[in-house]
Structure 1
C-alpha cells in the first residue's frame, strides 16, 4: 500500500539483506537491520500519535537516526522535516511552530527546542526499543507530501518547500540516468543531510541501488581523506568550499584517490581553477544545478563531458524541462543572460502554508521561477551566472558577482572570495569584495586590483576590498551575502 519512500527499507532488505547500508564510525548497519529498526521506530512513532500527514522533525548532525526517522515517518505517511542544526533556539522554535511538528528527535548539543513529543538523541535507542516489532503498511500515495525542507533564509523568514514522494523518486531517476550508481557504490555523505543535495542526490539514490553510505557527522577535510582510504569511497557530493578545502590540504598531492569514480559539486558556481585542479588529478568532477524546490536536480554535466565543458552546469536532466527566459518570459537567445525556469515531475507543488509565496514562484503557465541567472550556449549547455538578487548594476552595466569571485579565486593568495554590490553616488553601485587569504599568504588590495585588470572589464572590478578570516555561511555551505551587506 505504500507507494512512497517508506517502503524502500523493506524492499531493499528483501533484495540484499546482508549488504551494509550505513557506516557511522565503527557501526555498520545492514539493510536487514535498517528495515527492522525503521519498522520498530514507525510503530513507536504511531504510539506517539503520528499518522498520515503529521510532521516529524529531526534536529542534529548527520547520524543513522536521521535516516531511520525519515524512513519511519514515511512508512506512516507522515512528513519528515529535517532542520538545520546550526540554528538558534528562536529560529528552530519558529520552524517547529510553522510546520506544526508532532515529534522532534534532537541531538543534545543543538539549540533547546521542543515539540509535543521530544526525544533526545542520547535516549533515542531506548525510546525506539519500546516500539513493537510488527509490520506497518499505511496507505501512502506518490503525490503525498514527503518532506518540508526549509530554504536557507538568507533574506527574511525561511520558506518550507514541500516535496512529494513522487518529486523525490523522479529526482532519483534523473540522477541515475546521469550517474552510473552501482550496487557496489560507497558514497561519502559529508555535506549535512538537511541539505537537499546530500539527501536526495547521494543518500537516497545509494539506498535505491543497494549501495553503502558512509556518514560523516560533520565535514572535516582530514577525516574525509581518512574515510576515502579506509572504505574505498567511490562517490561523493560537496559544495565548492568543501572541494576547495580538500585541494588546499597538504595531503592533496599524495592522497590515494584511486577508488573515487565520481565527484559531484553543486550549491554554487564552481570556479574553473578548482575544476582543473581535480581534472589534473585524473578525477571526474561533475557539476549540477538545482535547488531545494526541484528536489534538487535541474541540469547536470555527465562525467564524460566534464573535461570538455569546464564551468558548465550541464544540460537539463532527463525527465525535466529547463528554459532560460527574459523578463517577458520569452526564451533568451544563445549567450543572452536570462532567468532559469523549470518544469517537471521533480518540481515542488509549493510552500507549506504559504499560498502567496507559492503563487509568486510560478509563471502563469506553470514554470517554476528559480531566481537564478544563466546563459545557454548553442549546444544547450547552461552556465550559471548568479542569483538575480545578487546581480548589481554599475554605471548601467550588469555585474554578476560569481564571475568576479571566480577570477579572484584563481589568484594564488586567495582561498575564498565573495562580492556584493554597494551604493555609489557616481555609478549607482560598485563592488565590494571580501577575501580570505590562502594559508601563509597575504592578500593585498592593490595587487588584487591589478590582477583583475587584465581579466575583467573595468566596471566589474570591485572598488573596495576587505580582507577577512572567514565568510558567513548557511547550513548548506552557501555564503550569506545578506550578512555581508549588513556588515
Structure 2
C-alpha cells in the first residue's frame, strides 16, 4: 500500500478488530468495519468534488463520529485536516479559514450562525452540514457558498479503498494554537508527528485493545486528539464521544460502559469528584486517568486516591503533537507538581539564554526535540525561524516555557517566559505561587498576574475563584502564604471573581485577566 499515514489506520485495524466497536456517539455505535466503509465513501465523495492531495478541509463542530470520519477520509486522499475551535468568534474562524486556504468546511448545523459569516472572503467553496438533531439554519445563517448535507455526500461516495501515496513526512493536520498571546499560528502536524506521538503514548501508558476511552474534552484540541483518541484507535480500543462535559453524565457513562480511560484538566476531575453521585457510582473500571494543563491540587489527588486511583500527568503543547513529558502514577504524589520524564521517543532539555544546558535545579527555557515535534508553522516563516534552534541532531522547539530538572531528571514547570513577573529585579514564576494558593480548601481556581508598581516595577496580584459554599478573604490568603514563599513572591493584592476566562483546552487566559484586573 502507498498510504503510510493516518488515513490508512482504520483499514489496517479493521482486519484485526473486525466486529469490535470503535465509536459510540450521538450517531450510535460503529464497528471498525463500519467506520472503515464510511471513511472510504467520504474519501471518494471528497475526491469526486475535486479535493486533491494537499488541499485543506476544515472542520467546525463538537465531538462526533463525523469529526473522526472527516479526519481519516482527508488522510486517505492526502488532503489536510484543519480542526477549528468551536468557541471562537466569527472573525477568528474566518482568520483560520483564510490563513489555511481551506476549500471545504464541514460544520455541524447548530454552529451554522458561527460558520456562515466566517466563510465570506475565504477560499471555501463547499460547506458540508452535519445534522446533529438541530433544525436547518435560519435565513440569517445561510452560507455564501454551495452547501450539501454531510450524510448525503458521504452516501454518494463509492465504497472502495483509495490508495493515494502518503508518507510520514506529509502534512496531516493544521492545528491552530489557542492564541492566548498574539494571532494564532497554524502548527503543521505531519502524519509522522501524530504517529510517533501515538507510539509514545502506547509505550509510556498501559493501553490495550480492551480499553474504553471516554472523550469529554473537545477533539479539536490536540490533547484530546493526540493523547486520547488516536492512540486508542491505533490500539483497537473503543471511544465514547461526548459533545460537552457534564460531571453527572460522565459518572453515569463510566458505570454504564465500564470506562477505563478518562482525560481532562484539574478542574474537570475536581467537578467530577465533587458531584453528589461521586460516592454512589461504580468507577472500579477506571485505570488510566490523564491530567494536563497544570498540577492536580492535593485535595483532588486525595479524593481519587481514596478510591484507589492515581493520575498520569504530563506536559506538552500543540507543537509536540502534544506529548513532551509524562509523570507516571507511581510518582504523582512524591513528584507532585512535576511534568514528569520525557516521553520515550522524545528529548527534553532546559537551557540558558545561550542555549547551553542548565544545572540541576536551575531555571531555564524548556526545549523539545523528537519525531513528534513539528518543523514549521503554516505561512509563518518568521515564527518558524524564531521558534526553533538548529543543532547537529536536528531542530529543537523553543517552548517559551520556563522550568528545571530535579536530581532525578523530573521536569518541573516554572511558568511561561512571558508570564514571568520581574519585581525589583527578582524573577517571580506565577505557577509556584498559584500552587501554594490552590492548596487552600476554599480555592476553586487561581491565577497570579503582574501589575504595575511605582517602586518595584511590578508586583504579583492573585485572581481567585472561591468554591461554592466556602468563604475566603484576602487576609486569609496572605496569611496562608506567609512563611511558605519569599516575601517578594507573595501577592500584594487579591481579587475575587466569579469565573476565569479560559481557552477551549481549559487553560486560563492570562492576557484577559491582565486587561481586566491589572
Report Cα offsets for 1:278-337 as digits up to 9, x if no partner. 233321201111111011111111233334322221111111111011111111111111
- Check if 1:241 corresponds to 2:267: yes
Per-residue deviation, 1:26: 7.0
Per-residue deviation, 1:245: 1.6
* 1:443 alignment counterpart: 472
Per-residue deviation, 1:272: 4.0
Could you state the TM-score of these two structures normalised by the residue count of structure 1? 0.97
Task: Spell out structure 1 runs of 4+ moving beyond 4 A.
Answer: none
Per-residue deviation, 1:137: 1.1
Q: 369, 386, 391: which one pairs with 1:360?
A: 386
Q: Secondary structure at the match of 2:339?
A: coil
Report Cα offsets for 1:1-35 as digits up to 9, x if no partner. 10100001111111111110001147111000000
Q: Secondary structure at the match of 2:389?
A: coil
Distance 2:28 2:478 in 1: 51
Q: 115, 129, 133: which one pairs with 2:159?
A: 133
Q: Secondary structure at the match of 2:336?
A: coil
Distance 1:478 1:342 in 2: 21
* 1:369 alignment counterpart: 398
Distance 1:445 1:332 in 2: 37
Structure 2 counterparts to residues 136-215 of structure 1, below 5 A? 136-215=162-241
Q: Contact between 1:269 and 1:384, CA under 8 Å: does it hold in 2? A: no
- CA gap of 1:428–1:253, structure 2 versus 1, over 3 A, is farther
Q: Contact between 1:164 and 1:348, CA under 8 Å: does it hold in 2? A: yes
Could you state the TM-score of these two structures normalised by the residue count of structure 2? 0.92
- Check if 1:470 corresponds to 2:499: yes
Structure 2, unmatched stretches of 5+, are: 132-148
Distance 2:487 2:382 in 1: 41
Distance 2:17 2:259 in 1: 20
Q: Secondary structure at the match of 1:286?
A: strand
Distance 1:89 1:470 in 2: 23
Distance 1:144 1:49 in 2: 20
Q: Contact between 2:217 and 2:264, CA under 8 Å: does it hold in 1? A: yes
Distance 1:321 1:413 in 2: 38
Number of residue-to-residue matches in the alignment: 487
* 1:60 alignment counterpart: 61
Question: Which of 248-257 and 167-176 deviates more?
Answer: 248-257
Per-residue deviation, 1:368: 0.7
- CA gap of 1:277–1:332, structure 2 versus 1, over 3 A, is farther
Report Cα offsets for 1:150-175 as digits up to 9, x if no partner. 00001111000001001111111111
Q: CA RMSD in A?
A: 1.3
- Check if 1:410 corresponds to 2:436: no
Report Cα offsets for 1:16-64 as digits up to 9, x if no partner. 1111000114711100000000000001111121111110110011111
Q: Secondary structure at the match of 2:348?
A: strand
* 1:105 alignment counterpart: 106
Per-residue deviation, 1:108: 2.2
Question: Which of 238-247 and 355-364 deviates more?
Answer: 238-247
Q: Secondary structure at the match of 1:109?
A: helix
* 1:387 alignment counterpart: 416
* 2:39 alignment counterpart: 38
Distance 1:9 1:164 in 2: 18
* 2:70 alignment counterpart: 69
* 1:266 alignment counterpart: 292
Distance 2:485 2:55 in 1: 52
Per-residue deviation, 1:445: 1.2
* 1:231 alignment counterpart: 257
Q: Contact between 2:301 and 2:310, CA under 8 Å: does it hold in 1? A: no
* 1:484 alignment counterpart: 513
* 1:255 alignment counterpart: 281
Structure 2 counterparts to residues 309-388 of structure 1, below 5 A? 309-365=335-391, 366-388=395-417
